[in-house]
Amino acid sequence: MIDHEIAQTIIDPKAYADGKRVDEAFATLRREAPLDQAHPEGFDPFWVVTRQDDIREVELKNDLFHNGDRSTVLTTIEADQKVRQMMGGSPHLVRSLVQMDNPDHRNYRHLTQNAFAPQNLRRLEERIREIARGFVERMAAHGDRCDFAKDVAFLYPLHVVMEVIGVPEADEPRMLKLTQELFGSADPELNRSGGMAADTDAALASLQATVADFIVYFNEMTEDRRRNPREDLASIIANGKIEGQPLGYLEAMSYYIIAATAGHDTTSSTTAGALWALAERPKQFRAVKDDPSLIKGLIEESIRWETPVKHFMRTATEDTELAGRKIAKGDWLFLSYPSGNRDEAVFDDPFEFDVARTPNKHVAFGYGAHVCLGQHLARMEMRILWEELLPRLESVELDGQPKRMEASFVCGPKSVPIRFKMH
C-alpha cells in the first residue's frame, strides 16, 4: 500500500500547483512502488500507475481497461454517489469520447476524425498564421512587460479552436471563463464561487451550473446549424449520425464541451509553460531562436514538461495482471501522465528542459485508441506561434513568480509575468 503522505500528495490540487511536491512523490513511487494501491481518506482505493510502459499497456488494452464503467476522473466516494443520483446511475456529468468505450467510442470518434486529420488541417494554416501574427502584435503593444499566460497563451488557442467549432469571437471570453471554471473547480481564483467550496454539494452544484451554461449555449448552436449548416465542427456535430441516428442529446452536448475546453486549455498550458521554461533558461531560448529547426523539439519538450492532463482513470473489466501485480475485476487505476513523462527508464535527465531532446516519447496526449483527437491541431498552433514570435523576440525573462492552477486533473500555468524585448 502506498504511504499515506504520498497518497495525499497525489490527490492534492495544491501539490500540482506547486509542481515540485508532486514530482517528488511520483519519483519516489517509480523507484519504490511503481504500481501499488493508494487508500486516501474519502476515496475508493485505486492503483497508481507511474511508469510509462505500464501506462502504455493499460491504454492499449481498451477491452480490459474501460474508461466509462466508473468515473474517468479521480473523485471522492461522496461526489461519485451524488453524481450517480443526478445522472440516473451514471458516474459521468458529461459523456464525451473520454467517458466512452467501444463501440460508442469508435463511432463517435469517427464522426470528427477527418476534421482533425493532418491533411485536412493544412487548409487552416494560413488563417492560423494570421491569428498568430495578431497575437504577436498584441504582445508587442504591451511594451516590454506582459503576463504571457493571460495576454497570449490563453487567448490564441482559444481563438483558433472557437473558429474551428464556429463560435463567434464575441463569445470567446465566455468560453474561456466556463473552461476555467470547469477545470479549475478546485482553484479559489478560477472556480465559479470565487472561493473554496464549502462542501461536496457546493462544489458539485458549481460544476453542474458550469456544464448547464455550456449546454444552453451549444443547444442554441445545434438548432442554428441544423437550419443553416456551415463548414465548421458545430455543423458536423449538429447534423452527424451514429448508425443512422442523430447523436444522443447528452453525447452531442458533451462533444461540444470537450472540443471547446480541452481543445484550447491544454494547448494554452503548454504554450505558457514553454515560455516560462525558456525565460528561465537563456541558453535554450537562444538555441531555439538561432535555429528554427529546433521549434519541433521545443514543442514536444514543452508538451512533455507541462503535461496538462494529469491523469485519467481506468476500470479493470476482469481479473488480470499488470507489472507483476494482480488486478481484480472492478479495480480502479490512476494513470499518471506527468509521472510517465518523468520516467527515468525512458528519459535521460527527465527533470531538465531540453529543446534538443530526442527521441521524446512522451505520453501527454495519451496513447492507443484514446489518444488525443486534437493533437495535430495543437502541434500546428504551437509551431505557427513560435515561427511568428521567436524571430521578433530579442530577449525574455521572468518578471515575478509564475503561478500554476490548483487542480489534480487538468492543470497548467495561470500566470507567467515576463519582461521582454521585441522588434
- The string of pLDDT tens digits covering residues 291-308 is 999 999 999 999 999 999
CB 71 within 8 A of CB 91: yes
Q: Where are the alpha helices (DSSP H) in 321-364?
A: 337-340
The pLDDT assigned to 369 comes to: 95
Query: The C-alpha cell of 211 is what?
Result: 456544464
- DSSP summary character for residue 51: S
The gap between the terminal CA atoms of the chain, to the nearest Å, is 56
CA 400 to chain centre: 25
The pLDDT assigned to 181 comes to: 84
Burial per residue of 140-154, b for 16 or more beta-carbon CB atoms within 10 angstroms, e otherwise:
beeeeebbbbbbbbb
The pLDDT assigned to 196 comes to: 61
The pLDDT assigned to 176 comes to: 87
CA 172/CA 414 separation, integer angstroms:
17
Provide φ and ψ at 167, rounded to 5°.
Answer: -80, 130
CB 136 within 8 A of CB 388: yes
* pLDDT < 50: residue spans in the chain: none
By residue range, what is the domain housing residue 56? 4-422
The pLDDT assigned to 194 comes to: 63
Tell me, what CATH number does 19's domain have?
1.10.630.10
CA 412/CA 310 separation, integer angstroms:
10
| CA atoms within a 13 Å half-sphere pointing along the CA-CB vector of 105 | 17
The pLDDT assigned to 183 comes to: 78
Residues 368, 108, 210, 128, CA torsion sign: positive
The pLDDT assigned to 219 comes to: 94
Domain total for the chain?
1
CA 388/CA 9 separation, integer angstroms:
39
CA 197/CA 187 separation, integer angstroms:
9
